[in-house]
Amino acid sequence: MKSTFPLFPDSASALSEHVDILYVIWVLISLFFTALIFGLIIFFMARYRRRHFEEVGADERAALWLEILWSAVPLLIMLVMCGWGMRVFFELYRPPADAVEYTAIGKQWMWKVQHPDGQREINALHVPVGQSIRMRLASEDVIHSFYIPAFRVKQDAVPGRYTSLWFRAEKPGTYHLFCAEYCGTEHSRMIGSVIVMEQRDYENWLSGGTAGKSMVASGADLFTARACVTCHRATP
């Protein structure tokens, strides 16, 4: 959504539309019922106000069918929205089988990113357009949260365990990358960019940089260099 007043962040991933539609429908339903309920309250207040001091209200009961109707209709709407929400939730949390794995490690106060072939970068994430990407997240110190508003994805990076999220960028461009979990003094500066490139530009970018070793290879090197190998055995 392009406008001078950015109510909405860019919508740039395969699932961001799905999230937005669900969100807008929820807001519209809430607005409709808020207007209906407050409208009726105000209308009834005016229509049935006490006109004389001695006036006493009639002892009215709502008809049974009316009670059932105003319980069943909201229940039905809630069930539909719940099912819809679950569908979008599962889409967001189940990466497709062809997703390529990238790693991002949160550290006070930066994002360290590693590409599948070992390329590293800090506070930047270059990705090819149209490719499903699964981010494996971890933290070196405290809880951080990996957040790309334009892709509608956010996931905590927690010390001592891996978490993950996935996205497929559909529009080349540069988008915000935030830390969305308060993690200390410089939290607000723990920001970066996600740069979505055409496949060929991405290949160029990859070959232009200093390609490192893969995570597994550098782990194996550390394992030997730090003499872990003297007590632990590497699995063949």
Catalog residues that contact ligand CUA under the rule CB under 6 A.
106, 109, 144, 179, 181-183, 187, 190
Q: Shortest gap between Cβ of 183 and ligand CUA (angstroms)?
A: 3
Q: Which two tokens stand for residue 81?
A: 């929205």
* Residue 119 near residue 204, CB atoms below 8 Å: no
Complex with ligand CUA: residue 15 or 190, whichever CB lies closer? 190
**C-alpha distance from residue 196 to each of 7, 37, 78, 205 (Å):** 22, 46, 37, 11
Q: Which two tokens stand for residue 155?
A: 């996931």
Complex with ligand CUA: residue 167 or 178, whichever CB lies closer? 178
Q: In what order do the strands lie in the sheet with 110-114?
A: 120-122, 110-114, 100-107, 132-139, 163-168
Amino acid identity of residue 7, one-letter, is: L
Report the C-alpha gap between 67 and 86 in whole angstroms. Answer: 29
Q: Shortest gap between Cβ of 184 and ligand CUA (angstroms)?
A: 7
Q: Shortest gap between Cβ of 181 and ligand CUA (angstroms)?
A: 5
DSSP character at residue 130: T
Q: Shortest gap between Cβ of 42 and ligand CUA (angstroms)?
A: 45
Complex with ligand CUA: residue 190 or 196, whichever CB lies closer? 190
Complex with ligand CUA: residue 70 or 182, whichever CB lies closer? 182
Q: Which two tokens stand for residue 212?
A: 């490192």
Complex with ligand CUA: residue 95 or 106, whichever CB lies closer? 106
Q: Shortest gap between Cβ of 10 and ligand CUA (angstroms)?
A: 22
